[in-house]
């Protein structure tokens, strides 16, 4: 279940309230495209900004409209007791997997992170994805810590940070992680710009930002990798380089929100404040890019 493409939809807001209609449309789009799974409430789904009630509602909506596609749910929070409450609510809402990042305010120690995952693993009744996202959590996992956490029975997958652009280095990185974790634990890449490289290098899954809004090109790349058309897959990724440039300048979330807004999949300014959408000039770049993609 934790292989292939897991698509991360936005959770669009309208005037600080979850826009359920937009979220349902996004979910249906992913189902139509045939993604392998939907991760509601990833970083792209703004989980960290949402209340417990909003989170539970979003997962319920995803499950209701997923037509059997597995739904995973982000459950991260600053306090262990809050994480456990999100776990319970996500399971009640029908999530088939949990995504947990070691969200921090005070920087966390390795042991604190281990104990957090351990507490969740003991309490979870569905499998757990270890979410390593140092750009937002400011926590850096060592391979050793991957190994300790991956031995917890609940852990099914690890979502690792972007692999290097260079294929040899990417392979080396995937092999390092592979050597650190039990065989049944899948390795999923994040960081869309090098995700295809990661898949070619041997990753089992792509936890995909862009897959949540533009599932077709994302699916095409994954299919090409599966069919062994490495050159085609890498070429497709290369064709999206103007998008990756925008990601690196403004962050993937702001750019993806602008994409969704331009495609009328989300209302204007759909991010939770203080996060702002892109400016006019950048939105024009997004529009040009979409038009060039066809």
Q: Which CB atom, from 36 or from 54, has the smaller least distance to a copy of itself?
A: 54
Q: Tell me how far, at minimum, the Cβ of 204 lies from a copy of itself, in Å.
A: 27
Report the chain's C-alpha Rg in angstroms. Answer: 18
CA dihedral 185, 224, 199, 195 (to 10 degrees): -120
Closest approach of a copy of itself to the CB of residue 125, in Å: 21
> Nearest to residue 39, comparing CAs of 63, 67, 12?
63
CA-based end-to-end distance of the chain: 31
> Residues interacting with a copy of itself, by CB under 8 A?
16, 43, 48-49, 78-81, 102-103, 105-109, 111-113, 115-116, 119, 135-136, 138, 251, 253, 272-276
Shortest distance in whole angstroms from residue 189 CB to a copy of itself: 20
Whichever of 113 and 195 has its CB closer to a copy of itself, that residue is 113
Instruction: Output 202 or 251, the one with its CB closest to a copy of itself.
Output: 251
CA–CA separation, 147 and 125 (whole Å): 21
User: Between residues 66 and 75, which has the closer beta carbon with respect to a copy of itself?
Assistant: 75
Prior bond to 202 cis, omega within 30?
no
Q: Give me the least distance between CB of 271 and a copy of itself, in Å please.
A: 9
In whole angstroms, how close is the CB of 272 to a copy of itself at the nearest point?
5
- Residue number with CB closer to a copy of itself (138 or 239): 138
The count of other CB atoms within 10 Å of the CB of residue 167 is 16
Residues 6+ apart with CB under 8 A from 61: 20, 23, 24, 27
């Amino acid at each position: 279940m934790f292989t292939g493409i897991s698509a991360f939809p936005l959770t669009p807001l309208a005037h600080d309230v979850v826009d359920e209609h937009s979220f349902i449309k996004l979910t249906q789009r992913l189902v139509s495209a045939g993604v392998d799974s939907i991760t509601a409430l990833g970083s792209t789904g703004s989980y960290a900004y949402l209340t417990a009630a909003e989170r539970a509602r979003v997962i319920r909506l995803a499950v209701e409209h997923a037509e059997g596609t597995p739904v995973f749910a982000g459950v991260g929070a600053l306090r262990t007791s809050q994480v456990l409450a999100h776990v319970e609510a996500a399971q009640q809402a029908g999530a088939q997997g949990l995504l947990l990042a070691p969200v921090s305010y005070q920087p966390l120690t390795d042991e604190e992170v281990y104990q957090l995952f351990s507490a969740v693993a003991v309490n979870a009744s569905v499998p757990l994805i270890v979410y390593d996202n140092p750009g937002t959590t400011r926590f850096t996992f060592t391979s050793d810590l991957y190994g300790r956490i991956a031995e917890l029975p609940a852990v099914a997958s690890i979502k690792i940070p972007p692999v290097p652009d260079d294929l040899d280095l990417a392979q080396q990185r995937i092999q390092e992680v592979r050597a650190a974790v039990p065989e049944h634990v899948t390795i999923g890449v994040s960081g869309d710009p090098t995700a295809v490289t990661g898949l070619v290098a041997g990753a089992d899954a792509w936890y995909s930002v862009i897959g949540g809004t533009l599932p077709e090109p994302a699916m095409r790349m994954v299919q090409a990798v599966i069919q062994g058309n490495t050159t085609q897959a890498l070429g497709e990724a290369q064709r999206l380089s103007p998008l990756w440039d925008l990601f690196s300048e403004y962050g993937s979330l702001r750019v993806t929100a602008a994409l969704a807004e331009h495609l009328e999949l989300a209302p204007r300014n759909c991010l939770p404040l203080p996060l702002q959408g892109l400016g006019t000039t950048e939105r024009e770049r997004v529009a040009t890019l979409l038009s060039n993609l066809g």
